[in-house]
Amino acid sequence: MKGVFRDILIALTMGVVMPSVVLSFGVALEELREEKIASQAEEITGEETEQIILPEFSPVEENSGLEMLFRREDGEVTAMDMDEYLLGAVLAEMPADFEAEALKAQTVAARTYARRAYVTGGKHGDGSVCGDYACCQAYISPEDYLERGGTQEGVDKVRSCVTATSGMVLTYDGALIEATYFSCSGGRTEDAVAVWGTEYPYLQAVDSPGEEGAAHYRDTVTFSPEVFCARLGLALTGEPESWFGETVCTDGGGVDTLVIGETVFRGTELRALLGLRSTAFAVDASDGNIHITTRGYGHRVGMSQYGADAMAVAGAEYGEILAHYYPGTSLERVEEQE
């Protein structure tokens, strides 16, 4: 019975849909603006990155011809030009002072997400995308962005990145991909199957160095034994250090399972119950309290935003960034509305 209750609690906490973003405007503006990538290594990975040849096309100066459906907070759904929508989505999802190539990669990922929702029905069933980052993608109008402390320079920079990639989307075997992304991986991304139980050939664990300057590259939270047990619905006695058993890790370095007492918890379950920033964590209970140190911020599946900026700092173009984080995908341009 306890297991059933815990499963229900996890479902309510995590939701039944996979979140595509974790980096909202508030985080981007307040926590990330002053955090630039510290490591500017000459080589981003130890492996050769697959190159994507970008199709030749002229930047679109006016409306893209694509439309998307935007779901407002009151539930009203309105049609918007895709690139006008993307200006607000990228402003909300990634700091404008990130490198231009990182912003272009973010734009393509966000366009792919919105286009896939339009074609398949998306999470809301009607093809619309809302502005809730925990559900779809964050969104802020340029006017609100400026009122909340953003700069016109930032707006212009993001607009130029949207224009430069107008119509570009990511596909795998001819189909639009699940273009998931997140803030910071802590050094390595995660397999989709380890987080959501669904295998995607292009959402596999890859190295993501250069993220050390991220706001949440490493965090530690501390719980008293009483609070820890209450969060997990356990009644444990003795020294907390003795509570923790075998840990099984994923290919991405996250916790797959961890034995606590006599109960086996999934890493995703512990992240939800304890409010952890990621499933890549280590536990230390040597002083009687439970200290959990996490690496990264978000579900860690797909493109790391800080990792993308690190690659851009080192000279990678947006096609290379996307090829690294979504291996095996292709860049295509959607010419007009279907």
Residue 319 confidence (pLDDT) above 60: yes
How is 97-117 classified by DSSP, letter by letter?
TS-HHHHHHHHHHHHHHHHHH
For 301-312, how does the pLDDT look when each residue is reduced to its tens digit (9 = 90+)?
999 999 999 999
Domain boundaries, the chain: 22-189+205-211+302-333, 218-295
Sequence letter at residue 204: Q
For 99-116, how does the pLDDT look when each residue is reduced to its tens digit (9 = 90+)?
999 999 999 999 999 999
Sequence letter at residue 58: S
Q: How far apart are the first and last CA of the chain?
A: 50
In this prediction, residues 121-144 reach a mean pLDDT of 95
In this prediction, residues 31-38 reach a mean pLDDT of 36
Sheet of 281-284: strand order equals: 218-223, 290-295, 281-284
CB 219 within 8 A of CB 293: yes
CB 92 within 8 A of CB 133: yes
The residue written with tokens 């596999």 in the block is 204
Interhelix angle 100-120/82-93, nearest 10 degrees? 120
In this prediction, residues 230-256 reach a mean pLDDT of 97
Higher-scoring residue by pLDDT: 274, 334: 274
In this prediction, residues 222-238 reach a mean pLDDT of 97
Higher-scoring residue by pLDDT: 179, 16: 179
23 pLDDT band, cuts 50/70/90, is very low
